[in-house]
Structure 1
Amino acid sequence: MRIQKKCLHCEQELTGRTDKKYCDQYCKSAQQYKQSKESPLRFYNKVDNQLKLNRKLLKVHNRAGKAVIRSTTLLDLGFNPNFFTHYWKNNKGEIYLFVYEYGFLSKKENGKEKYVLVTWQDYMEN
């Protein structure tokens, strides 16, 4: 006595083992890919991906160790200032937000929103 089932991907009738779920390796792979695309991305993956993008953009635009750039330049490339790993407050009370070793400070100069980009320095640990 054989239990007849259908393939979970293409819904063709299965032959062979009674516990078989897919008709071949292609259907198994295609179904798993479909499920991974439909399942929502986990929260920590979204955070990690945004932090990686932020770090990459800060690194690319701050090759000299300190730079000033219009905020729209970074924002248009996908930079999100709400994602950072830590912060540092200088003697003037300005708060630099850091994504790992690359930091930024939001400033308004001549009516334009800008970011002052810096890299982490040893003196900032105190």
Structure 2
Amino acid sequence: MEKSKTCLSCNKEVSGRSDKKFCDAYCKSSFHYNKMIEDTPKFYSRVDKQLKLNRRILKIYNKAGKVTVRTNVLLDLGFDPNFFTHYWKNNKDEVYLFVYEFGFMKKKESGIEKYVLVKWQDYMLKK
């Protein structure tokens, strides 16, 4: 006696070949599409996760509004400078990259790479 199989997508009974897993091409496509979505995080989810991590790290190290921190300290915590929300250029043409209200600028002092961390100020809106 043959055991009846059900479609992996819609759970309807599958007829035909013994190794058949889906009732039709739509169910097969739907199953694999949903599996792909579950298996790999969407691009914006990965970006959002990194932005939140970057903001959390910058917030922890910038309590006073402006501070300098060695680059490797932030990078070791998972900070990725490639993920930021906007930028601001000061009068000296130095560019600060921001993760929401927390900004950072890479600087080399005495041969050591550091980030100057700042907090967004209202005057930064004016050009």
Going from structure 1 to structure 2, the CA distance change for 1:36 and 1:107 (only over 3 Å counts) comes to same
Q: How far apart, CA to CA, are the structure 1 residues paired with 2:78 and 2:36?
A: 24
Q: Secondary structure at the match of 1:92?
A: coil
With normalisation by structure 2, the TM-score equals 0.73
Q: Which amino acid aligns with 2:100?
A: Y
Q: Is residue 96 of structure 2 the alignment partner of residue 96 of structure 1?
A: yes
Task: Indicate the residue corresponding to 1:85 in structure 2.
Answer: 85
User: Which aligned segments of 4 or more residues in structure 1 are displaced greater than 3 angstroms?
Assistant: 35-38
1:43 matched residue in structure 2 = 43
Consecutive unaligned residues in structure 2, runs of 5 or more: 14-34
1:99 maps to amino acid: V
Q: 1:40 Cα deviation (Å)? A: 1.0
Q: Distance in 2 between matches of 1:7 and 1:43?
A: 30
Aligned residues: 102
Q: Which amino acid in 1 is paired with 2:65?
A: G
Determine the C-alpha separation between the residues in 2 that align with 1:59 and 1:36.
35
Identity of aligned residues (%): 62
Structure 1: 5+ residue stretches without partners: 9-17, 21-34
Q: Could you tell me which residue of structure 2 aligns to residue 19 of structure 1?
A: 12
Q: For residue 19 of structure 1, report the CA deviation from its aligned partner.
A: 3.4
Other-structure match for 1:116: 116
Hey, what does 2:62 align to over in structure 1? Answer: 62
CA distance in 2 between counterparts of 1:87 and 1:114 reads: 18
Q: Following the alignment from structure 2 to structure 1, what is the Cα–Cα distance between the partners of residues 40 and 60? A: 30
Look up the match of 2:73: 73
